Chains A and B, each alone.
Chain A
Amino acid sequence: MKKTYKIDVDCANCANKMEEAAKKTPGVKDATVNFMALKMIVEFEDGREPGAVMQEVLKNCKKVEDDCEIFL
């Protein structure tokens, strides 16, 4: 399942770091951050609850870039 989330982040490198962090989160099959459109597209592994996974993604993103936001 794929879902798109609006994000807020200031720099392009930070967006890259968010993408890395999201990809490494358990339950995430693949993630792409589109800095220009300020969007994060997350593909979840089968049978995972997106809401719960996204909480983890947000936590991991906050770790690499304090000044970011994902609108869940």
Chain B
Amino acid sequence: MNKKQKKMLIRIIAAAVLMILFSLLPLGGYVKFGLFMIPYLVIGYDILKKAVKGILNKQVFDENFLMAVATIGAIIFGDYKEGVAVMLFYQIGELFQSYAVGKSRRNISDLMDIRPDYANIEKDGKLEKVDPDEVEVGSIIVVQPGEKIPIDGRITEGNTTLNTSALTGESLPREAKEGDEVISGCINMTGVLKIQTSREFGESTVSKILELVENSSSRKSRSENFISRFARIYTPAVCYGAVALAVLPPLFRMLFMGLSPEWGDWIYRALTFLVISCPCALVISIPLSFFAGIGGASKEGVLVKGSNYLETLSQTKYVVFDKTGTMTRGVFEVNGVHHNVMPEEKLLEYAAYAESFSSHPISRSIQKAYGKEIDKSRVTDVQEISGNGVTALVDGTQVAAGNGKLMKHLGIEYQECHQVGTVVHLAVDGAYAGHILISDLLKPGAKDAIHELKKAGVTRTVMLTGDVKAVAEQVAEELGINEVYSELLPADKVSKVEELLQKKGDKDKLAFVGDGINDAPVLSRADIGIAMGALGSDAAIEAADIVLMDDDPRKIAKAIKISRKCIRIVYENIYFAIGVKILCLILGALGIANMWLAIFADVGVMVIAVLNAIRALFVKKL
């Protein structure tokens, strides 16, 4: 609690004690009035002051005015206790609200606690802490174990394990060594690093992310705008309603029914009306729900650029994917060894050695799959046959590695591979020894991701790719994607998405998921653009509405679930708060609801709505 809140707490306790004490005493007349004025002023002096100022500034219909009128009215009627109690509960509600909001504000900023406070610069053999803002591009900074990397750059000395969980929500540590690019916001866990900075602090990943998160709740959703408009109409409407309730029925009774007007009763009902009328519960809980939802999502490594996007995401029925880099890793790897006459490792060893002088991506992927140091002195007589492959002597054994043409050229019978990808056939000592299949591997979790999406209510999944048909169809089938369009140029992707946008219903939204680098036009054309693996990519952060910090496609379904939960809470609060208020207004007008019920309708509803809103922060188990 801050100072303001503590002071309010003391005022609340003092006023409550005095109020209870005085109601137990057998008092009457002016003494009672005088004594009850003490707790009333203790608890309500600032409200009265604000109400007067409001009137002077021509801002009549605000909560302070409503509370002042309602409580003064109650006091004029001799209901001193109710007058004090209404003010007391109003203040308790305000205190609770400010406490809850402050608490969730801190919670959420703790989640995004990635802002580095300093950078270490080595000067005359000593480390000096400087403001990261002052570090120039190309400077060498030192990051010790346990410290955050303050600025993006390249490691010039040292290797370590990095904890990226604050950025990605992924708890698996990442290895980094000399020459690797590292991004700010990661925590250096094990070794001392020297990093040459490649950007200014203001341009570094960590600054960009913080800016994005801090501005996110500024883009307001339709629900939030609805509430603002609602509050603007609702408060004056209820006030005029209260005036009408106080004046019209008594006049009607007097003039047309010949009954006594009962002014007191009707004015009391009008005051009850005023207490119920405060729109706080709505006005606070809706933005709070969105704020908590965005905070919860960022804890999971899903950055949402605004409440409006969270709203749109919750209505997503179509998800369109890019293939390479989104559902697949975008790098070539050995996917399998088939028809091998010798152990897999042996075959890979021959292939790796035969290809050891080539730096072609295919050769590199074979060398990587072999995984051991290559002793180049074991390889002699290397002959590259351009476009076909290579022949070489490995430990004196004749090895040929290449495509089908090479095998034909050498007159060796070979087996076609029935899977899609690049195939390297191998012949050892002139006899066919099997082939190695190299392809772009699916990301782990890609299949689960599609499954999860379908479970989350996405009706159509579509894959767009520039890749050849055979590969695209195989990937789509393996993943369980409904539709696939292949051999598309970037411009074709845009027109395909536009086509899909036209076909779908108005209420269904289309999300496009891409890796953000070459998909920018599509990302901005779709109802909602989701960029994957955006760590360190400015283009993606710029173009997308939602940014997935790591490469995990399962996060798409998670993001949709988070948005659904958040929107559900928003609607719960809207219906609940408006419902209870209208009910209490009707009861108040009929004279059934008294001041106490009115206080519940105001403060009670707000407390419940705020507590409900905070639930949006908990997204771990979704």
> Which positions in A face B, CB cutoff 8 Å?
10-13, 16-17, 32, 34-39, 41, 63-64, 66-67
- Partner of B59 from the list A32, A37, A64 (CB cut-off 8 Å) is A64
**Distance between B6 CB and nearest chain A CB, rounded to angstroms:** 14
In the assembled complex, B105 has its CB within 8 A of some CB on chain A: yes
In the assembled complex, B383 has its CB within 8 A of some CB on chain A: no
| Given A13-B280, A16-B283, CB of A63 within 8 Å of CB of B214 | no
How far does the alpha carbon of A11 sit from the alpha carbon of B288 in the complex, in Å? 12
Contacts of B542 in A (CB 8 A): none
Q: Is the CB of B231 within 8 A of A16?
A: yes
| Given A16-B228, A36-B288, CB of A67 within 8 Å of CB of B50 | yes
| Given A13-B63, A64-B59, CB of A36 within 8 Å of CB of B287 | yes
In the assembled complex, B82 has its CB within 8 A of some CB on chain A: no
In the assembled complex, B57 has its CB within 8 A of some CB on chain A: yes
CB-CB nearest 4 A-B residue pairs: A36-B291, A12-B284, A13-B283, A63-B57
Q: Is the CB of B218 within 8 A of A32?
A: yes
A-B pairs with CB below 8 Å: how many? 61
Contacts of B283 in A (CB 8 A): 11-13, 16
Q: In this complex, what residue of A is CB-closest to B227?
A: A16
Q: Is the CB of A10 within 8 A of B94?
A: yes
In the assembled complex, B165 has its CB within 8 A of some CB on chain A: no
Q: Is the CB of A35 within 8 A of B63?
A: no
Contacts of B405 in A (CB 8 A): none
**Distance between B218 CB and nearest chain A CB, rounded to angstroms:** 5
Q: Is the CB of A37 within 8 A of B214?
A: yes
| Given A10-B94, A12-B287, CB of A34 within 8 Å of CB of B57 | no
Contacts of A67 in B (CB 8 A): 50
| Given A32-B218, A63-B59, CB of A13 within 8 Å of CB of B231 | yes
Q: Is the CB of A66 within 8 A of B105?
A: no
Q: Is the CB of B280 within 8 A of A12?
A: yes
- Kindly supply a per-residue 1/0 record for chain B positions 96-111, scoring 1 wherever the CB is within 8 Å of any chain A CB and 0 otherwise: 0110010001001000
| Given A10-B94, A16-B228, A64-B59, CB of A34 within 8 Å of CB of B279 | no
**Distance between A2 CB and nearest chain B CB, rounded to angstroms:** 10
In the assembled complex, B217 has its CB within 8 A of some CB on chain A: yes
In the assembled complex, B346 has its CB within 8 A of some CB on chain A: no
Most buried by B among A12, A16, A38, A41: A12
Contacts of B108 in A (CB 8 A): 36
In the assembled complex, B215 has its CB within 8 A of some CB on chain A: yes
Q: Is the CB of B215 within 8 A of A41?
A: yes
In the assembled complex, B53 has its CB within 8 A of some CB on chain A: yes
Contacts of A41 in B (CB 8 A): 215, 218
Q: Is the CB of A39 within 8 A of B94?
A: no
Q: In this complex, what residue of B is CB-closest to A19?
A: B228
How far does the alpha carbon of A12 sit from the alpha carbon of B548 in the complex, in Å? 30
Q: Is the CB of B63 within 8 A of A64?
A: no
- Partner of A11 from the list B53, B54, B57, B280 (CB cut-off 8 Å) is B280
- Kindly supply a per-residue 1/0 record for chain B positions 281-301, scoring 1 wherever the CB is within 8 Å of any chain A CB and 0 otherwise: 001100110010000000000
How far does the alpha carbon of A15 sit from the alpha carbon of B26 in the complex, in Å? 45
**Distance between B431 CB and nearest chain A CB, rounded to angstroms:** 70
**Distance between B81 CB and nearest chain A CB, rounded to angstroms:** 26
Q: In this complex, what residue of A is CB-closest to B95?
A: A10
Q: Is the CB of A39 within 8 A of B231?
A: no
Q: In this complex, what residue of B is CB-closest to A41?
A: B218
How far does the alpha carbon of A10 sit from the alpha carbon of B97 in the complex, in Å? 9
How far does the alpha carbon of A17 sit from the alpha carbon of B50 in the complex, in Å? 15
Q: Is the CB of B53 within 8 A of A66?
A: yes
Q: Is the CB of A35 within 8 A of B50?
A: no
Contacts of B287 in A (CB 8 A): 12, 35-36
- Partner of A13 from the list B53, B54, B215, B279 (CB cut-off 8 Å) is B279
Q: Is the CB of A34 within 8 A of B284?
A: no
Q: Is the CB of A64 within 8 A of B291?
A: no
Q: In this complex, what residue of A is CB-closest to B5?
A: A10
Q: In this complex, what residue of A is CB-closest to B290?
A: A36
How far does the alpha carbon of A36 sit from the alpha carbon of B295 in the complex, in Å? 11
25 contacts between A and B (CB under 8 A): A10-B98, A12-B280, A12-B283, A12-B287, A12-B288, A13-B62, A13-B231, A13-B280, A13-B284, A16-B228, A16-B283, A17-B62, A32-B220, A34-B214, A34-B215, A34-B218, A36-B101, A36-B217, A36-B287, A36-B288, A37-B105, A37-B218, A63-B57, A66-B53, A67-B50
How far does the alpha carbon of A39 sit from the alpha carbon of B108 in the complex, in Å? 15
How far does the alpha carbon of A66 sit from the alpha carbon of B59 in the complex, in Å? 11
Contacts of A37 in B (CB 8 A): 105, 214-215, 217-218
Most buried by B among A12, A36, A41, A66: A36
Known pairs A10-B98, A36-B108; list 14 more (Cβ under 8 Å): A11-B98, A11-B283, A12-B101, A12-B287, A13-B63, A13-B231, A13-B280, A17-B59, A35-B217, A36-B105, A36-B287, A37-B105, A37-B215, A37-B218
Contacts of A35 in B (CB 8 A): 101, 217, 287
Q: Is the CB of A11 within 8 A of B214?
A: no
How far does the alpha carbon of A67 sit from the alpha carbon of B50 in the complex, in Å? 8
Q: In this complex, what residue of B is CB-closest to A62?
A: B57
Contacts of B279 in A (CB 8 A): 13
Q: Is the CB of B50 within 8 A of A39?
A: no
**Distance between A42 CB and nearest chain B CB, rounded to angstroms:** 11
Q: Is the CB of B284 within 8 A of A11?
A: yes
Q: Is the CB of A39 within 8 A of B53?
A: no
Q: Is the CB of A34 within 8 A of B94?
A: no
Contacts of A64 in B (CB 8 A): 57, 59
- Partner of B94 from the list A11, A17, A32, A36 (CB cut-off 8 Å) is A11
- Kindly supply a per-residue 1/0 record for chain B positions 460-504, scoring 1 wherever the CB is within 8 Å of any chain A CB and 0 otherwise: 000000000000000000000000000000000000000000000
